[in-house]
Amino acid sequence: MTTPAEAVTRLRAAFDAGLTRPVPWRREQLLGLERMLDEDEAAILDALASDLGRSEVVSHLADLGTARSSISHTLKHLDDWVAPRRVKVPVSQKPGRAELIAEPLGVVCVIAPWNYPFLLAVGPLIAAISAGNTALVKPSELAPATSALLADLLPRYVDPEAIAVVEGGPDVAEAVLAERFDHIFFTGSTRIGKVVMTAAAAHLTPVTLELGGKSPAIVDRSARLGVTARRIALGKFLNAGQTCIAPDYVLVDESVVDQFVDQLTTAVDDFYGADPKLCADYGRIVNRRHLDRLRGLIDAGGFDEVVRGGDSDPEDRYLAPTILTGVSPDSEVMQEEIFGPILPVLSVASVADSVRFVNQRAKPLALYVFAEDDDALDQVVDNTSSGGVCTNHTLMQFALPDLPFGGVGDSGMGSYHGQAGFDTFSHLKSVLRKSTRPDPSVLYPPYGKVKSKMLRSAL
């Protein structure tokens, strides 16, 4: 098995030889990824089902469809992104031409998480390839079937001299982070994000950190409660709640909280039936350790009632879609990102109270607000800070290829998707092109009063 050090040495040699710079080479790799999605779709779906209990439909929506869309969008716009970007030149610098040239960074590292183990490995890789880099991909060992599949498939569809996959647990991750990269792209928890950033600092390596946090959903009294409940339930319980931008908790206007909870429980029943364990579209917790952690949040209490769910089956890695009401802000379930199918519902007096609640906590990766009142929507959007916002829906902001996706504060730094991803893995080099003519003597010393006055007025 190739070590991280050996892989990086090979990737560095390929980059230094100029292998990845030609745009036709980049297109060839992207088309290879596209063929992989088409030819090995069944194997990818099987791996995701093994790791996360996913149905084919959910994996198509969450992983394969989004990856296909990203490749198609990148191929369509790549020539425009690569082209030099003209910059206006002031009169004092004329004649001259200024531009930004996007050059590849070099050898980059993509460290993928276990919750969307295919998409969140391939998605950043698409951006890295489009920008002309070589890349080391480290899949998550907690999704072993998908990790093994990526290690098998990628060398068959993309240039193995320029793209490498290393598998393994924390010891391999530590060895990866000991290497010098030109950029590290990490998706995962805030805790591990700090480890990645510390390791990167030793080499002054820039990082993109796609983290998480407690992403709130705010429900105003003007919201259409039936639609709101369905969309929050969809966003929360997709992939058994193991989504970094899933609604982590809901702040509901006290005048409509009871009606909202009724609609929410109805939505869960409609989606997954009386026994979600039997529903093909409801996933599983990634492993027993995470299931025990989630069970601990329920067992710790700090809420009035479990109005739906709460039951689990350790042997099947199953935890039912769970709705908690009368939740205390000080309860254990409200202290850290849940990352599972538990949804706390809290009652608030107004949208202004919701804004204060959110602003007293770490900045989330996503924020959702539901209202028919435009003033209520604007109040939340204008007075909170988060990686991104979606009004009257959940998760959909991730699917827009031209809408940069990333966090702020504890929820991460940097962004990708579309041109933002290309730019993340590029250095936008500033270039000013000047001529040797004219060559006015006023630029050169000695500077007397006349020259000084002329130069001051020109700048």
Helix, strand, coil percent values for the chain (each to nearest 5): 50, 20, 35
H helix or E strand, kind and range, residue 406: strand 405-406
For residue 118, what are the CA distances in angstroms to 47, 114, 121?
A: 9, 8, 5
Q: How many CA atoms lie within 13 A of 449 on its CB side?
A: 0
Specify whether the CB–CB gap between 181 and 196 falls below 8 A.
no
Choosing from 6, 41, 141, 244, which is the catalytic residue? 244
Choosing from 109, 179, 210, 337, which is the catalytic residue? 210
Phi-psi map region of 330: left, alpha, beta (phi>0 left; psi -120 to 50 alpha): alpha
For residue 77, what are the CA distances in angstroms to 29, 82, 404?
A: 15, 9, 15
Q: How many CA atoms lie within 13 A of 49 on its CB side?
A: 12
**What's phi and psi for 197, nearest 5 deg?**
-65, -40
Specify whether the CB–CB gap between 118 and 146 falls below 8 A.
yes
Specify whether the CB–CB gap between 108 and 135 falls below 8 A.
yes
Beta bridge partners of 406: 415
Tell me whether residue 130 is exposed, middle or buried, using C-beta atoms within 10 angstroms of its C-beta: 0 to 12, 13 to 18, 19 or more.
buried
Cα gap 272→322, rounded to integer Å: 12
For 35-41, which contacts have Cβ atoms below 8 Å and span 24 or more sequence positions? 35/157, 36/153, 36/154, 36/156, 36/157, 37/64, 37/67, 37/68, 37/71, 40/149, 40/153
Q: Is 279 a catalytic residue?
A: no
The residue length of the chain stands at 459
Cα gap 219→33, rounded to integer Å: 40
Q: Is 210 a catalytic residue?
A: yes
Cα gap 364→47, rounded to integer Å: 30
Location of structure tokens 């909280």: 257
- Active-site residue set: 210, 244
